[in-house]
Structure formats: C-alpha cells, structure tokens
Amino acid sequence: MQRIDGAAIAAKVLEETRARAVALAERGIRPGLAVVLVGDDMASRAYVRSKDRRAAELGFHSVKKELPASTTQAELLAVVNELNRDPAVHGILVQSPPPPHIDEAEIVRAIDPCKDVDGFHPVNVGKLAMDDPTGFVPCTPLGCIRLLAEAGIETTGRRAVIVGRSMIVGKPMALLLMRKGVGGDATVTVAHSRSRDLAAIVRSADIVIAAVGRPHFLGAEHIREGAAVIDVGINRVDDSAAPKGYRLVGDVDYDAVADRCAAITPVPGGVGPMTIAMLLSNTVTAAERFNPRPG
C-alpha cells in the first residue's frame, strides 16, 4: 500500500510556485493575493492565517481584510470591487462560509473572473466544463489531480467514483477526470449519500474520491482490493485521549481499508496541504496572465 504524502507533494508545488514568483520578480512583478474574512469563525481565521503566512513566504504581495460579522452585503461587495480595481492584486479569495446574512453566490459572481483563483465564478466553472484552459480550476480538486499524478496513478480508461456532488469538490472533480489528456480520460460516476446501493457503486471503482463530509462514511465494504483512494474529508470527532479533545478523520475509515488499497491519502496530511498550495499556484498563474512576457 502506498501512503500518498500530501504534505511532501504540496511542498514540491510550493517550490515550483516560488520559482515562478522569482521569475516574475525579476521582471518587477510581485504576485498579489487578497483574502477577505467576514466574521469570527475560528477555523476560517486559522485557515486565513495559514494562507497569509504561506503567501508571505513565497514573496507575494499579501492583503488580508478582516471584516466584522455585522458587515453588510453592500459593504462586502464594495470591498470586492475595490480589490477588483487594484492592479497589485491578482487573486481574490473571500473565505467561506460567510455569516448567514451574506449571499455568498452574489459575492462569488462579483469577483473578477480573472482574479477568481478559487475557481468558483460561473465563467470559470463554464470554462472548466468546456475544456477551456484559460479558466481557473477549484483548488481542492486540482490538488487531487496532482496527488494522483505524483503517486503514478493512471486515470486513462479507469473507472473513477466520486462520492459527493458539491460545487467545491465533487462536480469540478468529475469534470477534471473526464477531460481529455493526462490526468483525465476516466469513466466517471458521481455518487452521493442518497445513491442506491452505494457500496456496490464505490466497489466498482479503480479510483475513489471521497468528498461527502461525513466521518468514516466509507468503510471496508466500499473499497475493492487494489483501488486508489483520495480522501478529501476533514472531520472533527470527539476523542478524550487527544490533547485538544478531538481528532481529525477523513470520510474514509483509513484503518479499515488501507491494507486493501493500492494507494491512499491520510487525514490529516493528504489533500489538506494541497488546497493552499494550488491556491498560491493559481495566484501566480493570474499574475503571469496579467503580465505576459513581451513578444
């Protein structure tokens, strides 16, 4: 069984991104990433700090806007529009989820598609569906494709089952795996918690992408011998023996299935580190597109 080390692969992506940022710096260009956080969600704050720290380490122009939970829709739209107009900002991310009174879909649509490094704007979703490489791909599924590639897992002609149908992971993941070329050409099934005979569907897969958001939702009865498993889930479960009183587990019961897998990502240390790495890579791509080389 191959344990896919997401932290090591993310470090490789970050070094590639650093080299691209240095090449831009030699031309007097500094990639700019703006992260907007509304409210006091502790998990979101920790995630934003991590993004800000990583961006600074790579020499980015990093903008962090922390707004109170009382921020109105109009005030948040004004901040987004200000960042859209800022030539020093190449990528904009509004941290999800915002407070309940915020219409997140409207905020996403307000971001300039050329700065939508999260890949959720309808223009970028459409480009992904149309195999248009000028769009931005959501970071988590893009990271999953990189994990498969680095682990040497062939996708061409393989049957892939994605458990989860969200716009964040499931749907873009399916589109990526169906694309023509390297990392694609798979036969894809998108299943979910309401799929009939889910275990049989998932057992048919050469590649399983688990993104349903339920701890240990997939067990031994779901995974066939020799399958590759990418576990996107990050779930907190109570554990009195753990220092923080909880531990993080995936959507897959790792201990129950690892021995039968050809390859599997752990949680934590699998997909998680890739999301930030791909966000920063997308930001450099945005800066490169905004500042093409002469000639």
Q: Which residues are catalytic?
A: 51, 95, 118
CA distances 283 to 60, 101, 117, 140, 275, Å, are 9, 29, 6, 14, 12
Give residue 122's Cα distance to chain centre: 17
**Which amino acid type is present at position 37?**
L
Q: Provide the β-strand partners of residue 91.
A: 33
